[in-house]
Amino acid sequence: MPPSDTQELHDLHLHELRGRVDRALEEGLQFQAGCPERLQQAIRYAVLGGGKRLRPLLALLACEACGGPADAALPAACAVEFVHAYSLVHDDLPAMDNDDLRRGQPTCHIAFDEATAILVGDALLARAFEILAEGIKGAESAARSCALLARAAGAEQLVGGQADDLDGNASGSSLERLQAIHRRKTGAMIQVSLALGGIAAGASDDQLALLAQYGQNFGLAFQITDDLLDARGDAKRVGKRVGKDADRGKLTYPYLVGIEESEGEARRCVEQACAALQPFGPAAAPLEQLALSLLDRQN
């Protein structure tokens, strides 16, 4: 098949899966009468107002790569997006990154207020585990998924990475430190999205190990390309403030090794991510395309 047809089929498949994710997110955000109207609005604002849905797509595509139907991973897809959305809302707060623009819209605490934004994050974190515990088929798979997500979102991974990022004095050489932050702050949620998708398909340990290898490289390529977007980006297209990293003297790949070397490192990571997919055969072609698309990210 000519490459443009393959690309078109891939785009169509992602579009279709994104639609399923958006409908599942919408359903997962129906709260009973105990949830005050304004809180409900703020939660929906934080989740449904945009975003690439990268982590949910990784969960669904990992499930398909391991031979499962994508729908089996929808609860996992919602759970990882809820944790991700909570982390963005909290990251944007004045006590953290103090941002006023996210996904092309005013951040949650600007559109509502700070206390509401904190509660939005709390509610989303709880909902993620509720949906995973109730939605994943098989008690063992559900419990394993909850434990993996808790670890990825916890003090050793997402929260720890965020804490070190906020603390300019943490130890280690600059590149080591940067990689350790990326691994926990960005990589852990990407890795767990893939693992949960695999578990929903009943993946073998070997398949999960390959997904982890893919995820590790994908995560690093994603973060390097994020740094590159920030370094030379256009705020309108990216949907958040750009150039902030340099203004704040933040450690980034382009700052440490330069633009060209960062681009080279992102390419090497994408190649390694794709190499990890070989044993899956054509079932993993969409994961391969997704990794390749990181190299011309626009947002």
Q: Which residues bind ligand GRG (CB under 6 A)?
A: 51-52, 54, 84, 87-88, 90-91, 96, 103, 158-159, 162, 185-186, 226
Neighbours of 202 (CB within 10 A): 15
Q: Give the nearer residue to ligand GRG in terms of CB position, either 64 or 226.
A: 226
Least distance from C-beta 98 to ligand GRG, angstroms?
Answer: 12
> What is the Cα–Cα distance from 47 to 45, expressed in whole angstroms?
6
Region class of 32: left (phi > 0), else alpha (psi between -120 and 50), else beta: beta
Q: What's the Rg (C-alpha) of the chain?
A: 18
Q: How far, in Å, are 17, 54, 65, 226 from residue 20 at the CA level?
A: 5, 13, 18, 26
177: part of which helix (H) or strand (E)?
Answer: helix 174-182
How does 246-284 read in b/e, with b if 16+ C-beta sit within 10 Å? eeeebbbbbbebeeeebbeebeebbebbbebbeebeeeb
Least distance from C-beta 193 to ligand GRG, angstroms?
Answer: 11
Q: Give the nearer residue to ligand GRG in terms of CB position, either 142 or 242.
A: 242
Q: Give the nearer residue to ligand GRG in terms of CB position, either 64 or 165.
A: 165
Q: Give the nearer residue to ligand GRG in terms of CB position, either 103 or 109.
A: 103
* Nearest Cα residue to 293 out of 66, 58, 103, 60: 58
Exposed, middle or buried by CB within 10 Å (0-12, 13-18, 19+), for 39? middle
Least distance from C-beta 34 to ligand GRG, angstroms?
Answer: 25
Least distance from C-beta 206 to ligand GRG, angstroms?
Answer: 28
Q: Which two tokens stand for residue 145?
A: 């998924």
Q: Which two tokens stand for residue 275?
A: 């190499």
Coil, helix or strand at residue 221: helix
Q: Give the nearer residue to ligand GRG in terms of CB position, either 141 or 162.
A: 162
Contact predicate 127/28, CB 8 Å:
yes
Q: Give the nearer residue to ligand GRG in terms of CB position, either 23 or 137.
A: 23
Least distance from C-beta 68 to ligand GRG, angstroms?
Answer: 23
Least distance from C-beta 223 to ligand GRG, angstroms?
Answer: 6
Least distance from C-beta 209 to ligand GRG, angstroms?
Answer: 24
Coil, helix or strand at residue 243: coil
Q: Which two tokens stand for residue 255?
A: 């700052």
Q: Give the nearer residue to ligand GRG in terms of CB position, either 142 or 221.
A: 221
Q: Give the nearer residue to ligand GRG in terms of CB position, either 90 or 109.
A: 90
Least distance from C-beta 184 to ligand GRG, angstroms?
Answer: 9
